Structure 1
Amino acid sequence: MLGRIRKEINAVFERDPAAKSLLEVLFCYPGLHAIILHRVAHFFYCRQFFFIARLISQIARALTQIEIHPGAKIGEGLFIDHGAGVVIGETAEVGNNVTIYQGVTLGGTGKEKGKRHPTIEDNVVISTGAKILGSFTVGKNSKIGAGSVVLKPVPPNSTVVGVPGKVVIRDGEKVETARMEAIDLRHDLLPDPVAETILSLQKNIEVLEKRLLEIEKSSNSKDGSDKCVKKIGVRRQ
């Protein structure tokens, strides 16, 4: 457990440029406090001391504004930045080196029994306000855009944006595994499919307007030539 806590502390220094000292991280990072208390709660939950486990998780929630069900399985190196409003459900599974920002929900979609929360694989970045709902897998090295609502499985090395969430290939090509060894935290550099669709429609409208002007010009010139022919014909008569 101490080894895991050390990895979580290192994760803060690696992924948060605002972290200045060990004391600051230990005493001023609610995400770290929530993870440490979850480890304790999960220990009791696995031994079927459910009330004690839930009590610890509720204390953690009151202290950190982060709610992690004691049944959730959390890997090593999890970093919860700021953390207010984060909710992780009972059957959720979070892999290693995952980054979660404030307002994220790893939830279910109903009252079904068994596995009902998502599985987040290694090196995933989940941006502010994203909701991942249902029992499916978000693949390794993926990024979930801010405010996205993800309802379907996400393949590895993908970027998801929108409501409902859609997979968008970054830079128009698949990301090589070698480039994804370091965790990509630039969740602000995400494509916007809605804006791209609007721009595409705007370009199509401009093309259509040009074409209409050309047709109008050609029809006007044709009408003018017809009038000239008629006038010449009248004079000859």
Structure 2
Amino acid sequence: MKKLGIILSVSTLLTLSLVSCKEKQPETLRPVTTEIDGTLGALYELVEEDYKFPEHSNEFEFKVKRNELEGHSYSKIGVGYEVYDKNGKVLVSEMHPSLEDISSWAPIPFDVMELKSGEIGTMSIRLKDWPDKYAGAKTFKLILESNINEESTINANSSSSSDNDWDALLDDYEALVNEYDKFLTEMKSGNMDSQSAMNALAEAQAMQEKLDGSKSEMNSKQIKRLGKIVTKLTKIAAKSATIKTNDIKSVNGVNLKDLGLQ
């Protein structure tokens, strides 16, 4: 019986020893370097600090700082990474990310794309095989890829003819939205030119559908501008609900009072 107790005690000690030797999930991860690899890596650098390792989901947040280089056109992006233990051994590697349309890509928000030199923004990645493969993790490295071709240069003054075409369409779209706003403003002040207002709205909506379907061909600034114009149109359209019948003094240039209707 005494011998059995000794065996059990030794077994318990071995179990505790194995548990204590097992690597725990990290509390934080730190960049192994502030430099970022990939075609977009030259535009940003990682902010060097300890980043909290996610406890309740696989979304890992970190900060990037925009460098002095100006942006350029791209429509697809991908985020890759590697995670290492204290000895530099690779625990998880995702260094060849698939490219996704920037109009639907959450980890790189538009405000990060539009950062000015020296400004800092927050990004995130979704860690694969989380949390199982991250025991003992200490550091990480980042990669930012895009669909910039080899002829593209990181130059704010360089823009393709395609970019110029989309800029021109956005100009036309915004002009239609402004025209619709003008008609609604006149209607609210008493002059109801309903046909012109409806025509402007119909043209604006048709152009919006065309632009929405072509986001993958636009650069980040153009997509951001499109979003602002769409928001503007939505706010303007809400004005129509505030126009009261009693406010209308004329319709399509015809004075209602002259017709004996007021």
TM-score (structure 1 length as normaliser) = 0.25
TM-score (structure 2 length as normaliser) = 0.23
Instruction: Give the number of the structure whose residues are more often strand, by fraction.
Output: 2
Higher RCO, 1 vs 2 (CA within 8 Å, ≥6 residues apart): 2
